[in-house]
Chain A
Amino acid sequence: MIKTAYNGLKTAWKGLALTIKHFFDARESKKVVNVKEANYFDQQNGIATVQYPHQELPIPEVGRYQLDVVIDDCIVCDLCAKICPVDCIEIESIKGTEVIGKTSDGSVKRLYAPKFDIDMAKCMFCGLCTTVCPTECITMTNEYDRSFTLVTDLTYHFADMTEEEAELRREELETQLTERKAAKEAAMKKTEEK
């Protein structure tokens, strides 16, 4: 019985010594350093908490967090929406009546994008869309903290066309199509007449 009591006290003291050591080590906090720093593992003791909004962990410049789209460079090929495993990208396209312009890397733009939405609530940050993009207009940024009070705010809209503009383009396409159809029919009639 005495031995059990002695052992109990001895082992309890071991634990107590450990916690009191940490208690006194808590006088200082670990400094927030980049994981790439040479002295990163030198800081063994002290408070480990990073007080997040006031302190931030250093992140790599080319972080792979939230998606961003440079809509001017987009050729509306829809590849990103097709590869997305969770279908978080929604794109609507309108064929242009002629070549619209060129992207910064020289690709020819033929389609308008009245709608380019990414639902960040669905996004799983796999980065597949950024690899398939032929013009590299969809990228991952190093921004990671965005919070919203409305869940709908998590759907980012990247299209810069207004509804009227989109409507105008649709009408243009419509007229071009009808014109072409009429021309085609006229051509067919001509061949039949011959």
Chain B
Amino acid sequence: MNFYLLYFLVAFTIFGFIAVFSLFSVYAERKVSAFMQDRLGPMEVGKYGWLQTAADILKLIQKEYILPALADKVLFTIAPVIIFVAVYLGFVALPWAPGLVPATMNLGVFYVFAIISIEALGILMAGWGSNNKYSLLGAVRSVAQMVSYEIPIGFAIISAVMISQTLDLQIINYNQGILAIDAVKFLGFVDVTKIGGILAWNVFQAPHLLVAYVIYFIASLAECNRAPFDLPEAESELIGGFHTEYTGLRFAFIFLAEYAMMFLVAMLGVTLFLGGWNTPLPNVGSLQLATYTTGVFWGIFWIMTKCLTVVGIQMWIRWTLPRLRVDQLMTLCWKILTPLAFLCLVISGLWKLLL
């Protein structure tokens, strides 16, 4: 019985985290965009507008569910659920701290990568179900984009996995710090198993993973449909893209999934490349900084810091770069990112063979 109670508790905690994170990051996004454009952003609801997103969600909850007369009722209704659940389930395998992971899976990377692809299905259902040409165009673009970008993102992930030699996200984490199970080698030859810190992160264990991380990061922006790859919802062309027809709580869930996806891809990238919950501070001589700053609390602290930084960079990019054209999007994916990612994959293979 307690067993199930724990399951529910974990599920609610993750949901609560996603909800709080979304509220926070929507506010942050609006403020960041405002500051970058020399504006103030929300200022009226609460001091400096910090209650703005709470007011927004209250408004969304009260709104009417509008079901377009010619919409496919079943698809239209369950699409937001599928979109959200796909992202929500992705959080299950992601580790937060040493010994703190919602579900231990020896196929973690594969699972996360597979389950977030379901989102594309949800988006296509939303676009098709709305029976609106803008929605359908948005959905078609979204699916084309997500399916294409899964190639470079997959190669980038595999090149990291080849260095780590495991698909278990928690073991990948362990092997990037002082709690390593195998020997950790900085740049492939200096043994830093006892030193840890930033030197033990995957990107510094094998420097070509820096390129792989950049590829992963760019492709992950496309995966979560964010600017400069926000073609599926391109406001200026498609009104709202696949969520044009959604109102109220259904729209809120699509929005929630979008922000949860931002955090999810940030967390997966941080786990695979940037040391996950491992501290950036190394042990230097008698100053055992890495030992001091490793633990459950510190683990959560470090992964939150890293992920929020990455999310911050995602916002920074969104408010800087203009949207790509569809052909440019595909050129970037197939002609630049995919070959580069493939190169990283080859280097990873040689790295493990030769070093």
Decide yes or no whether B1 CB sits under 8 A from chain A.
no
- A121 at interface (Cβ–Cβ under 8 A)? no
Partner of B336, one of A5, A19, A20, A25: A5
With A12-B321, A26-B35 known as contacts, the answer to whether A20 contacts B316 (CB < 8 A) is: yes
List the A residue with the shortest CB-CB distance to B322: A15
Number of A residues near B (Cβ < 8 Å) is: 21
B340 x A5 contact (CB < 8 A): yes
Contact with A along B228-266 (1 / 0, CB 8 A): 000000000000000000000000000000000000000
Q: Does A46 make an interface contact (CB < 8 A)?
A: yes
Using CB atoms, name the residue of chain A closest to B35. A26
Contact B335 A1 (CB under 8 A): yes
A125 within 8 Å of B by Cβ?
A: no
Candidates B32, B38, B316; contact of A48 at CB < 8 Å: B38
Check A23 against B40 for contact (C-beta < 8 Å): no
A4 within 8 Å of B (CB atoms): yes
The yes or no answer to B106 lying at the interface (CB within 8 A) is: no
Q: Which of B32, B214, B319, B320 has the most CB of A within 10 A?
A: B320
The residues of A that contact B39 with a CB separation of less than 8 Å are 47-49
A191 contacts the other chain (CB 8 A): no
Task: Give, as a whole number of angstroms, the nearest-CB distance from B340 to chain A.
Answer: 7
Over the window 300-322 of chain B, the binary record of Cβ atoms lying under 8 Å from chain A Cβ atoms (1 yes, 0 no) is 00000000000000001101110
Name the residue on B nearest A17 (C-beta). Answer: B320
Taking beta carbons and an 8 Å cutoff, which residues of A are in contact with B? 1, 4-5, 8-9, 12, 15-16, 18-20, 22-23, 25-26, 29, 46-49, 51
Binding site for A on B (CB under 8 A): 32, 34-40, 43, 214, 316-317, 319-321, 332, 335-336, 339-340
10 closest residue pairs by CB, A with B:
A26-B35, A19-B320, A49-B40, A19-B36, A15-B320, A48-B38, A23-B35, A23-B36, A16-B320, A22-B36
